[in-house]
Structure formats: structure tokens, C-alpha cells
Amino acid sequence: MIPVQGLTGARVAVLGLGRSGLSAARALAAGGATPVCWDDNPEAQARAQAEGFTCLNLRKQGAFEDIARLIVSPGISHLYPTPNPVIAAAWEAGVPVDNDIGLFFQSFATSDWHRFDTAPRVIAVTGSNGKSTTCALIHHIMEVAHRPSQLAGNIGRGVLDIEPPLDGEVVVLELSSYQTELARSLTPDVAVFTNLSPDHLDRHAGMGGYFAAKRRLFAEGGPDRAVIGVDEDEGRFLAGQMSEGPTDDRVIRVSVAEKLTGPGWQVFSRKGFLSEYRKGRQVASVDLRGVAGLPGAHNHQNACAAYAAARAVGIAPKVIERAFHSFAGLPHRSQTIAEAGGVRYVNDSKATNVDSAAKALAAFDNIRWICGGLQKEGGVDALRVVADRVKKAYVIGREAAQFAMQLDVDAQVCGTMDAAVAAAMAEAEAGDVVLLAPAAASFDQYDSFERRGEDFVAQVTKRLRSN
């Protein structure tokens, strides 16, 4: 646990008692603060009270008297589409609003560090797609390099649940826009921006607000190194803002769309080869084509971002290359779950938006595509560029018929995962890929993308065993 510093003796309100909220309450108590907790869910209140925390209805008049700070869980909107009433009450009372990420950065460094030969480092990763794979890959690289490392944030443990860092340790954080938009303290040593595509637009009042939330990790954080994907205008804008000029190697530009040139520091992938250039000269190259855990251009982008972050903390190219080949990938992200009869079965349930699904489709040919779910804003137009890779779509979800009508491919309305897998497997031929890449959220039928992916795995496994 990371005990919270700077709030000893203070009463601190905690709104939302899920994983991050309870973790924040424990860390506040460990640092000498007095957490005052609230959640509208009585079961969540009971869990907090079972741990000895006081629950106080923060909606009541006068609840913020003597409160030093309000800590908010990431799922609670603080500005758009409308402010949560508790947050509005905190504003009215002049109480600062923060989250567990802000508490983490406020409390990470301690006086013990003066005994370390090498100060611990934080690598924080944000962006629309690829964050989890990039973080897991960076963490894996550190393990292969025999550098102590912990993985936290949206992946692994809560940020305040990790152990105090060791000498030379690297902490890798996956941070969503919900987390970066509110944290009062953001001070990573290396900040990574993977890419940007429309997502969570209602929460951020459009693309401008969504990008602004991501940008805070860089503009507010002032990292020593910034690894920035520049395949979208927003990435190019951000790289330009962070750089003092063409030779400023504090910014490492990353691309899978073009060869990057110039006197700065660049990492890019073309035709399956990753290249690192510095001062206009190539200094390293990695063949990604045989890396089983990183298939497709979208995973090559993840590889470039992870490579650049690892280089920023001094890991040698050959060590990174060795780590790539031993990386197994993450569940529900281009995860090959079986191969039988010449057919490959791939679980990419994490492809919850159109852009990530298009990247998953671009990684394979002869696809039997299982898609559908709770559709997000923006339609499915971005999928048309990869439609020629799809032999047939098998559509699930409560609105499967409506989703199928938008596709430019032969589509069968299946409704359920069971029916979709059965139909796809019955028609699959040697050389085909049965791919779950929903291009939609899971919440119409499942409580998470993980449960959806697990159902796909279970249905495939059941039928393979019965054959």
C-alpha cells in the first residue's frame, strides 16, 4: 500500500466505494487521515463499514464542514454530462476534488529514496486503444530486463494498492481519460499517448474534451520523456506542444502509418519491421512479423510505444526484442484461444469501439466475424475499409438486426454468443479466422467485456471438445 501523504489529521470524503474508492480510503487511513465514505449503494456502504470506515451521506446539507478534500471514483461524472450533486456540493463549499491517481502521485516519493542508487520511475500510458497491451508489454520488458516493476491503474492493481517501490523500480500505470481529467497531481517520469479515436464522448462533451482529458497527463505532468503516437492530428499537435524543436529528444514520436524522419527521436513500424531512429540515423531494428503475441498493425503500434518507453528508461534494444518474443499477449485482446482443422479462433472482446474492431479485422484475412452489442456513437463507417477481409459477420446483441443492417458484408443475425459461435464454426473452412471483435460495448448482454470474451472462449471450447 502507498500511504497518502500530506493529509495527516484531515477528514477526507470518499465518494464511490468500488475498488478505487475503498483502496483510497485504506491509503488515507494508513497515512493518518480520517476517511468519510459515501456510496448510494447500501451494499457498498456495508462493505466500507465492515472495514471500520465511517459512512456519511454527502448529499446532506453541511456534509462538507471540516472536509479537506473530496476523492471521487472514476465512474462518477464531475462535469459532463452533468455534475454529480455531491461534487457540486463540494464546489459550493470550496472543497478541492481529486481522485486516487492524484493521491498516488502526491504520495509516491518518500524520504526513504535518499538511500536508493536509482530513483524509482513511473511510466504512465493513456490513449484510446492499446493502453492495456502497451502497459503489460512494458511491464514484461522490465521483468525480462530484471528491473523490479509493478503494474497498476486500469490494469493489475489499484494505484494505491501497490507496494512502496524498490531501488530502481519501474511502476507502469494504465490511465483512462476518466482518471487523467480529474487528478490534481500528475507527475510521471515517462508519459505515453498511444492514439485517439472517439470514445466516452458524452462524459467529455465531445472530442475536444476527450482529448483535453488525455492531454493533461502531458501538459500538467511535465514528464521527462513523452512518447507520442503521431498518426492522428491530435498526436501531432501534442508532440509539437511538448517539443522545443526538431532536435528535442525529450519527445519520442511513434507511428505505424509512415516512416518518421528528422533529427529527433522516432520509433516506427513499416511492413512488420520496427525501426528506431535518432539524429537522422537508424540505431536499432526489430522484426515483428514472427512475434505471435503481437499480431497486426495495431499491436505493432503497441510494440513501438512500449519499445520507446523502455528505451526511455535505459533498456537495450536486444533485451526488448527478446521480451517481445516471450510476450504471451493479454486475454480478450487479439488472443488466439485455439486452432483446429486449419481454423484459428481469436478473442478480441476488448474491441469495444469501431476503431479498435477495425484494427483487429485488419490483422487477419478470411474472417468469420462475431460482432455487435451496445453500439456507441459515430456509426460503423470506419469498418468499411477492412470489409474485404470479412467472409461473413455473425451479429449478437439485443439490437443485432439494426447493427447488421449497417454492415457492408454478408451478415447473419444470431442474437446470442452461443448461436453466433455455432454458425461461424459450422461454416468455417481451413484458412479462416473466427474472430470476436464486437465494435460495441458489452453491457446489453454482459456486465463486462471480460465476461463476453469468456463466453466466446467457453462456446468455442465446448464445440471443439464435442467434435
Q: What is the pLDDT of residue 263?
A: 94
Residues 120 and 266 in one domain: yes
- Stretch 390-408: mean pLDDT: 95
Q: Is residue 141 one of the residues assigned to a domain?
A: yes
Q: What is the pLDDT of residue 380?
A: 86
Last residue of a domain, one of 270, 295, 326: 326
Quick check: helix, strand or coil at residue 429?
coil
- Stretch 81-109: mean pLDDT: 96
CATH code of the domain in which 386 resides: 3.90.190.20
C-alpha to C-alpha distance for 230 and 63, rounded to whole angstroms: 46
Residues 322 and 339 in one domain: no
Residues 165 and 130 in one domain: yes
C-alpha to C-alpha distance for 98 and 42, rounded to whole angstroms: 23
Residue 195 pLDDT class (50, 70, 90 cuts): very high
132 annotated to a ligand binding site: yes
Percent of the chain with pLDDT over 70: 100
The number of beta carbons lying within 10 Å of the beta carbon of residue 258 is: 10
Residues 270 and 361 in one domain: no
One-letter identity of residue 22: L
- Stretch 111-136: mean pLDDT: 94
350 annotated to a ligand binding site: no
Model pLDDT for residues 300-352, shown as the tens digit of each residue: 999 999 999 999 999 999 999 999 999 988 889 888 899 999 999 999 999 99
Q: Is residue 5 one of the residues assigned to a domain?
A: no
Q: Which range among 132-146, 253-267, 371-385 shows the weakest confidence by mean pLDDT?
A: 371-385
Task: Show the domain range for 15.
Answer: 11-98
- Stretch 33-49: mean pLDDT: 96
**Mean pLDDT in the chain?**
94
131 annotated to a ligand binding site: yes
Residue 460 pLDDT class (50, 70, 90 cuts): very high
Q: Is residue 397 one of the residues assigned to a domain?
A: yes
Extract the C-alpha cell encoding 178.
Answer: 476518466
Residue 131 pLDDT class (50, 70, 90 cuts): very high
130 annotated to a ligand binding site: yes
Q: Is residue 318 one of the residues assigned to a domain?
A: yes
Residues 260 and 321 in one domain: yes
129 annotated to a ligand binding site: yes
Cβ contact 268:259 at 8 Å: yes
Q: Does residue 467 have a pLDDT over 80?
A: no
CATH code of the domain in which 86 resides: 3.40.50.720
Residue 269 pLDDT class (50, 70, 90 cuts): very high
Residues 32 and 163 in one domain: no
Residues 216 and 79 in one domain: no
Last residue of a domain, one of 98, 133, 154: 98
Cβ-proximal residues to 384 (8 Å cutoff; 6+ apart), any chain: 408
Q: What is the pLDDT of residue 353?
A: 87
Residue 444 pLDDT class (50, 70, 90 cuts): very high
Cis status, amide bond into 81, omega within 30 of 0 = yes
Tally of structural domains, the chain: 3
Last residue of a domain, one of 291, 307, 326: 326
Q: What is the pLDDT of residue 367?
A: 98
Q: Does residue 169 have a pLDDT over 80?
A: yes
Residues 90 and 124 in one domain: no
CATH code of the domain in which 250 resides: 3.40.1190.10
Q: Is residue 2 one of the residues assigned to a domain?
A: no
Q: Is residue 6 one of the residues assigned to a domain?
A: no
E strands in 247-389: 251-255, 265-270, 273-278, 281-287, 335-340, 343-347, 367-371
**What sign for the dihedral angle of Cα 95, 99, 100, 104?**
negative
